[in-house]
Chains A and B, each alone.
Chain A
Amino acid sequence: NAGVMQNPRHLVRRRGQEARLRCSPMKGHSHVYWYRQLPEEGLKFMVYLQKENIIDESGMPKERFSAEFPKEGPSILRIQQVVRGDSAAYFCASSPQSGGGNEQFFGPGTRLTVL
């Protein structure tokens, strides 16, 4: 059973460009979470999705950021018009169910660098 997959692992963008980060959850998992990790900081919750539904996007900036988890295919975190402050590691996690006590399995992360 493959773990959570993310691609690309490293992404370099210039200011103003768009970044698309992909996450394929573990087989059998229908819940996906995105977290952002700034250098030497803990992970910060961004958004929680189920298939075709955004459940909670309270941690995501209101502008430039969007997320989706279509019926088919991976979950996508999209950042438009990137700025240097968007440079971070973005991790997605998945779980078979939601709720406290259900382990979230993390992917290897995408390290975004904005020049």
Chain B
Amino acid sequence: GENVEQHPSTLSVQEGDSAVIKCTYSDSASNYFPWYKQELGKRPQLIIDIRSNVGEKKDQRIAVTLNKTAKHFSLHITETQPEDSAVYFCAATPTGNDYKLSFGAGTTVTVRA
């Protein structure tokens, strides 16, 4: 099945700086890569996603890049703000079971004021 690895596990940044989280996946035919944000004690919420026919997608201060050859994708948050502090999860959907999200272990992002 699909195996998703996520790094780093924790990330502390100064307010206004950028944060980058990287994920790798094992199934070369995976075609959908969402990113979820989970605040403490709350539900995961989709913040951005990318499909395998696109190399980059941007939505205001967040962007995701996908490198299919290397089988990795990254989340970039620019001009970080305290409300960006949360746990971020990447996910991928494997071939043949494209409803089954395989999640990374998560990155705890702390934005220091």
B105, closest chain A residue (CB): A42
Mask, A7-47, CB within 8 Å of B = 1, is 00000000000000000000000010101000011111100
> Are the C-beta atoms of A45 and B44 separated by less than 8 Å?
no
A105, closest chain B residue (CB): B46
> Are the C-beta atoms of A45 and B43 separated by less than 8 Å?
no
A33, closest chain B residue (CB): B99
A88-105 interface with B by 8 A CB criterion: 91, 95, 98-105
Task: Report chain B residues within 8 Å CB of A91.
Answer: 43-44
In angstroms, Cα B32 to Cα A35, docked, is: 18
In angstroms, Cα B89 to Cα A40, docked, is: 11
> Are the C-beta atoms of B99 and A42 separated by less than 8 Å?
no
> Are the C-beta atoms of A106 and B45 separated by less than 8 Å?
yes
Beyond A56-B97, A100-B51, is A45–B106 a contact (Cβ under 8 Å)? no
> Are the C-beta atoms of A41 and B105 separated by less than 8 Å?
yes
Separation in Å of the B93 CB from the closest CB of chain A?
4
B50, closest chain A residue (CB): A101
A38-73 interface with B by 8 A CB criterion: 40-45, 48, 55-56, 58-59
B4, closest chain A residue (CB): A42
In angstroms, Cα B2 to Cα A6, docked, is: 28
Task: Report chain A residues within 8 Å CB of B98.
Answer: 98-101
B52, closest chain A residue (CB): A100
Separation in Å of the A60 CB from the closest CB of chain B?
12
Task: Report chain A residues within 8 Å CB of B49.
Answer: 101, 103
- B34's partner among A56, A58, A59, A103 (CB-CB below 8 A) is A103
**12 A-B pairs (CB sep. < 8 Å):** A42-B103, A42-B105, A56-B97, A56-B100, A100-B51, A100-B99, A101-B31, A101-B32, A103-B34, A103-B46, A103-B49, A106-B36
Known: A100-B93, A101-B51. 4 other contacts (CB 8 A): A42-B89, A42-B106, A106-B44, A107-B43
